[in-house]
Structure formats: structure tokens, C-alpha cells
């Protein structure tokens, strides 16, 4: 079933090109207009620091210059869309992560440096800088997907398995990170068993019956399973996925954007999140066959 129209796509294009950051405009051009991957890589590299990590506002809620694990996870999300990630980039990322890893093998979501820079209050006022499963699992998942061989990845993988096996409750952010890890970790049988055990917890943490009349700042099955082949797709019924897709289409605003899931704390951060989510929403709709337009596939050139 293809539903999204040319008018709705052009509205999203207009919002992205007029309001989103350069990096998200380059992503849109690459994914939907046959733009080059190098433009996206160049835009992402502007947020990279000498320590190999990423900061400088790549994550809209972290405005400071310093590298942060959450921002580095965002960089990997962007780089993953382009095909193979260059070795010098992943080496730098692993070098940075090694420097902020806690004794148990994971990384915190943010480091204490966040308390001295402009950031969303839920990050700036944070006092817990212990390992964060959501961030560690998401990063490790991307490194496994791109077959990055590094001691940090192996240490983080062991950390993730220990904590996934011990989970008795989760939240949407953590569930997304865990499902990213399970989608790419090499031990597929263990990953399937883990998902089967976690499915009741995952379903309890998100909105499996979203409606346009309900809360807008909720996570749905599509946030965990952004494409049909994702391991998390097995946690939801066909009806739940179809309902989530219908709701996602209905939530597109008249200006072409999708509203940010994050709470509004700064107008610039809100607009940047909306640019990110608009591109992501179109990606999900296309992955599930909901965009009935003949659009070029992303280029896989170097």
C-alpha cells in the first residue's frame, strides 16, 4: 500500500531545505535526490573533534563543543546511511570511546563536561555518569554492522550482553539502543532469544496503538523497527505496524515537517530535531512502501 503523495513529499522537501540544518539537507539530497554521500560526510565531519568523538551541537540537545557519547551515536546513525564507514573514522571513534569508558565496559550517555556547556536541562542537570546501556548498545550495534574490529567494541559487546540478560524493565530510549544492538550483533540465535524474552518489556514501554489525538511525544513500533527487516519488527503485529504507519503519515504538519519527539527547551534545538525527524519519517515510510513516488535510491559512491 502506497499512500504518501507528491504534495506531502514536496512539503517535507520544502521544510527540510528551508529550515533544517545543512547536514540534514545533505542527508535529504543524498537519500531522496541522488545527492553524493561525500557531501554528507563532509557535513558530519564538521562536528568531529580531535579526540575522534563528535560534539559541537550534532545532537541538538547538546550544544557544547566537547565530544559526547550520545552525539557520537548520532554521528554513527548519519554515517551508517552512507554505506561503509571509513576506517580512520571508526578508529577515531573507538579511540574516543575508550577514553570515556567506565570500569564495567560501557560508556555514559554524557560525560561531566555537559554540566559546563549549553544543553537541555535533562542533560545539563544530570548527576549520573555511570554506563548507559542505551548509548553503549546503539554504538556497539553500528560497529558490528560495519564489521569494525576493535577492543572497545568487544568490551562493549560483553557489557551489553550482561546487562541485556539482566533486564527486567526498560524504557523507549533504552529499547531502541538494545534493538539496534540485537539487529547487528553476530550471535543471531542469542539475539533472537533475547528479543523474545524482552518483547513484553519493549511493548510495555511504547505506544503500540498511537493516534493523532493522543500524546505526540511518544515512541511507536516504528522507532524500534524502522524497516521491515529489522529484528524488532517481530515484536509487533502487522496491524500494529500498519496503524503506526497510518499515524506517522497523519502527523505530518501542513508545513511538511514532523514534530520533534523531544521536549521543547530551546527554539533552535526544536527546529533541528524537526529536520532530523522529517528525514527519518520519510525514510521509514519509504522502507515500508508507503511513498508511492519514483524516487532515486541513495548513491553508494565513495
Q: Is residue 14 part of a domain?
A: yes
**Residue range of the domain that includes 212:** 6-287
pLDDT at 300: 62
pLDDT at 153: 98
| Sites in the chain below the pLDDT cut of 70 | 1-4, 212-217, 293-297, 299-302
pLDDT at 291: 87
* CA-angle at 222, arms to 217 and 225, nearest 5°: 135
Q: Is residue 239 part of a domain?
A: yes
Q: Is residue 293 part of a domain?
A: no
Q: Is residue 294 part of a domain?
A: no
Whole-number Cα distances in Å, 220 to 82, 197, 245, 261, 279 = 25, 19, 9, 11, 17
If one counts the domains in the chain, the total is 1
Q: Whose CA is closest to 284, among 230, 240, 237?
A: 230
Given a contact cutoff of 8 angstroms between Cβ atoms, the answer to whether 224 and 179 are in contact is: yes
Whole-number Cα distances in Å, 200 to 196, 203, 224, 227, 293 = 8, 5, 14, 20, 36
The mean pLDDT value of the chain amounts to 93
Q: Is residue 295 part of a domain?
A: no
Whole-number Cα distances in Å, 273 to 269, 280, 302 = 6, 10, 27
pLDDT at 7: 86
pLDDT at 2: 45
| CATH code of the domain in which 77 resides | 1.50.10.20
Q: Is 270 exposed, middle or buried (0-12, 13-18, 19+ CB in 10 A)?
A: middle
Given a contact cutoff of 8 angstroms between Cβ atoms, the answer to whether 40 and 26 are in contact is: yes
Q: Is residue 111 part of a domain?
A: yes
Q: Is residue 298 part of a domain?
A: no
Given a contact cutoff of 8 angstroms between Cβ atoms, the answer to whether 174 and 224 are in contact is: no
Q: Is residue 244 part of a domain?
A: yes
d(CA 249, CA 212): 10
Amino acid at each position: 500500500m502506497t499512500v504518501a503523495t507528491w504534495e506531502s513529499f514536496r512539503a517535507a522537501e520544502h521544510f527540510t531545505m528551508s529550515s533544517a540544518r545543512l547536514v540534514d539537507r545533505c542527508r535529504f539530497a543524498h537519500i531522496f535526490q541522488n545527492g553524493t554521500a561525500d557531501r554528507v560526510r563532509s557535513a558530519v565531519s564538521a562536528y568531529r573533534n580531535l579526540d575522534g568523538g563528535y560534539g559541537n551541537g550534532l545532537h541538538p540537545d547538546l550544544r557544547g563543543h566537547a565530544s559526547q557519547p550520545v552525539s557520537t551515536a548520532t554521528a554513527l546513525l548519519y554515517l551508517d546511511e552512507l554505506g561503509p564507514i571509513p576506517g580512520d573514522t571508526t578508529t577515531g571513534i573507538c579511540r574516543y570511546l575508550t577514553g570515556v569508558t567506565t570500569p564495567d565496559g560501557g560508556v555514559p550517555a554524557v560525560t561531566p563536561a555537559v554540566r559546563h556547556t549549553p544543553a537541555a536541562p535533562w542533560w545539563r542537570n544530570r548527576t549520573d555518569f555511570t554506563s548507559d546501556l542505551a548509548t553503549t548498545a546503539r554504538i556497539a550495534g553500528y560497529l558490528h554492522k560495519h564489521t569494525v574490529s576493535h577492543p572497545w567494541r568487544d568490551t562493549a559487546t560483553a557489557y551489553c550482553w550482561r546487562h541485556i540478560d539482566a533486564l527486567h524493565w526498560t524504557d523507549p530510549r533504552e529499547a531502541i539502543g538494545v534493538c539496534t544492538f540485537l539487529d547487528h550483533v553476530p550471535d543471531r540465535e542469542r539475539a533472537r532469544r533475547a528479543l523474545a524474552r524482552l518483547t513484553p518489556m519493549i511493548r510495555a514501554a511504547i505506544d503500540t496503538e498511537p493516534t493523532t489525538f493522543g500524546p505526540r511525544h511518544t515512541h511507536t513500533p516504528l522507532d524500534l523497527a524502522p524497516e521491515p527487516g529489522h529484528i524488532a519488527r517481530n515484536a509487533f503485529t502487522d496491524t500494529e505496524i500498519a496503524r503506526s504507519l497510518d499515524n506517522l503519515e497523519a502527523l505530518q504538519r501542513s508545513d511538511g515537517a514532523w514534530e520533534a519527539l523531544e521536549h521543547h527547551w530551546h527554539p533552535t534545538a526544536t527546529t533541528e530535531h524537526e529536520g532530523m525527524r522529517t528525514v527519518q519519517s520519510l525514510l521509514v515510510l519509504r522502507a515500508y512502501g508507503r511513498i508511492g513516488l519514483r524516487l532515486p535510491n541513495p548513491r553508494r559512491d565513495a
